[in-house]
Structure 1
Amino acid sequence: MPTRSVPDPFAALIGARIRELRREKDMSLSQLARASGLSKGHVSNLENGLALMSVGTLQAVARVLGVPMFVLCMRDEDESFSAYLDNVLREEGGDVGRAAERLREFFFGKPSGQGRGPG
C-alpha cells in the first residue's frame, strides 16, 4: 500500500480518530486489520497518518468500528456536531442504521408517509 514518509495533517487526524474508536471498542490493531481485510501494517500506517487512504479503506474501517464513514473525517471544530451524533446514536440504543435514518430525516427531510416520527 502506498505510504508517505511524513504524516499528512488531515490523514493524521483521521488516523487518530480511528485509533480512538478502535481503543473504545477494546480492539487490537490485529483485530481491526483482520475484520476490515487490511494488513496490520496498513492499519498502523492509517493510524499514524502515513497511509494514502482510499474511500474503500475508510469504508471498511468505519464498518468494523460501527460508525458512518464521515465520522472518521471530523475535525475538532466539528465536535459539537459529533456530540449531537453521539446523542442520536445513544438514543437509538447504538443501532447505527436507526441513527442514520434519523440523521437523513434531519438533513434531508422525511418523505411523506415514511420513516419514524421525530426524536
Structure 2
Amino acid sequence: MANDDFDDRWLNAVIGREHWHFHKRLFERYGIVLAPGEFSRIHKLIVSRRAYLVDKSREGSIYVFKLNRTHDEFFVMAVGDRVISAWPPIPQVVKKWKAEKKEVVLERGYQRHYFI
C-alpha cells in the first residue's frame, strides 16, 4: 500500500473492540473496508429505524446498505440497536432483497435508507 492510499481521517481514529467482528466479516465476505464515519452512519440508521430492513427473525434483523463511494451492496445483521455482523449474501436473502428493491425504488425511493 502506497502512502498516498492512506485516508487521513483514520489518524487518531479507533475501531472499538466490540465492532472488530463486524469489520472482519465485512472484509472477509465482501472485500469492503469502511472509511472513517461509515460504520457510525450504519449504526445511526439502524438505531433510528431508518435503515432498510430486508428480513427479521428471532435471531435478529438483516438490513441492506450500499456504499456511495463504491456502489457495493452488503447485508448487516443487528439485534436491537447492536450491530452484530456483516451477513453473508445467502441466496434467500439476496433473492428477497432483489424482489423488494424494484418496489422500493419505484414506489417511495430508498436513498436515505439504503445509501451510506
TM range (shorter): 0.3 to 0.5
TM-score by length of 1: 0.32
Rg comparison, structure with higher value:
1
TM-score by length of 2: 0.32
Which structure shows the bigger proportion of residues in strand conformation?
A: 2
Which structure shows the bigger proportion of residues in helix conformation?
A: 1
